[in-house]
Amino acid sequence: MILKDFRSKTTRKIITAGALALLALFSACAKNDLKPGNRQTVTVMTIEFNSGKSNSGEHAREVMKRVEDYCGCNLSIEWVNNDELSDYRTLAFSSPQSMPMIMTYGGVMTGDVVSAAKKGLFVNLDEYIHDEKKYPNLSKIREDVADSLSVDGKLIAIPRTRVVGRYGLCYRTDWAERLGLEEPSTPEAVYEMLRAFTYDDPDGNGLDDTIGLEMTSYTGVFDIIQTWFGCGNGWAEVDGKLIPVHMQMEYIDALDYIKKLYDDGLMPADWAVRPTETWSDGCKSGVNGVFIDVMDSGRRIWDYFNNDATWTASVTDPSTAASMTLYGAVNGRTLATSGYNGYFTLSSSTCDTPEKIEAALTFLDRLCDDEMLVLTQYGIEGIHYVIDDEGYIEKIDPEKPSLHNDYAGFNQLLAYLPSAEHVPEPHVKTSARQEALNDAYAAALEHAVINPAATYLVNSATYAEVGASLQEMVDEARTQYILGEISKVRLISTQQKWLEMGGAAIIDEVNANR
């Protein structure tokens, strides 16, 4: 009752499929062999990113019906605004009998979800999804990702899979060509590129108006650079024990390198106070030549150069557009993503029979089939898109928002298993820039450093209580050291303070759980 009242007060949009008429998709009917009256009703909470317009257009009911027919269930979907998720979870966890069968979460697993799992609020998915015959997509979950979504040894969530080898270094190809620079494979080569991009007039305009590295107050860039020196991803295994990277010997070497970049003027002097929303502006405007973060952002900069409205000439051939090289690993290493961004849980109180569990998992599994990937991302052929002469999807009226609203929101229910890199058939024609990005992802994958403690951190009570504040303290000290505001002695003393304020307990708990 509490949860029901909460929903009505926040005026969330609820879409209930109800009883269905005759099946519209004969192929789906044959596959499922389920008549509407024999189907389970699957209740779902997912995230609303479309200002209340998800699955709301003229053809929304047809899209919903096709999903239901293909997945063999009736659907009752509740769309919850992203900024209301925390309150929603609090009320849901306090009233388990009111929880929807499937709940969607953003980001990585948080302490409140771990606590709820320890109370038995979620189905142990290990007992179900490894059945390759029933769940050919979900059963392909990566072992390391499954570990990070397990509590007390039980898999309690299905990931919304993301590219693992996503982080890297991107740079202006034409600037490098003009200065005779090769692809930088070592930290020293990256330094030389940044120095040349800052002081050797890479754009050839005769002015001192460029700075090598694009940088704002977001310090994830430093996490990537640290891996080049042998640091782990958040944590590392040293002499058989998991420790946070700021306790590795290589950590100081990496910070001394970054500090030199700052001291030598190869990154903006005011980076620490630059708002994150301005990130990539420097590369787009021709001030910066190197961008370190997710490589899809580098591809978007490249897209910007090629856009008719923002076309940017190459400094080596003004008749062509400027370009970016997307390069993953330096020194044979780069940061890995968690392998997912968001996840799904099944409520043990409402998925209270094997039939309901199977219906919920079948729904999530079949959404990963090509037919559903196309429907939930492009809509219905003949209404939302046509197939061109080359066999690619071409949207009928991409500027008409009401058409997009028909199928909007369903992408939040995609687990993207077995792989986030999978491209369904048919699909929109891939640009050369996107193909370059896909190649960069594939090349970076084998060099991407996974966080070896992710599995165990979610089960650390001390980490759940003080982990975020302790990490903030360490990150602040890192920034201060790079800026020259504190000494190396003070930096190292922060590590000792981290141990005393709960870090030692976190290390013990992480290693005890292995």
448-449 and 150-151 strand pairing: unpaired
User: Global pTM?
Assistant: 0.81
Q: How far apart are CA 454 and CA 149, in angstroms?
A: 9
Instruction: Confirm if 314 and 322 have CB atoms less than 8 A apart.
Output: yes
Q: How far apart are CA 358 and CA 346, in angstroms?
A: 11
pLDDT of residue 129: 96
pLDDT of residue 75: 98
Q: How far apart are CA 90 and CA 179, in angstroms?
A: 57
Residue 37 pLDDT level (bands cut at 50, 70, 90)? low
Question: Tokens 């953003």 — which residue?
Answer: 106
Question: Average pLDDT in the 443-466 region?
Answer: 90
The DSSP-derived string for 421-458 is: T---SS-BPPPHHHHHHHHHHHHHHTTEEP-TTHHHHT
Q: How far apart are CA 283 and CA 304, in angstroms?
A: 10
pLDDT tens digits, 395-414: 998 777 788 999 999 999 99
Q: Is the pLDDT of residue 514 over 90?
A: no
Instruction: Confirm if 411 and 297 have CB atoms less than 8 A apart.
Output: no
Q: Is the pLDDT of residue 102 over 80?
A: yes
Instruction: Confirm if 125 and 133 have CB atoms less than 8 A apart.
Output: no
Question: Average pLDDT in the 220-248 region?
Answer: 97
Question: Tokens 């961008």 — which residue?
Answer: 291
Question: Tokens 């504190």 — which residue?
Answer: 486
CA nearest to 402, candidates 58, 70, 154: 58
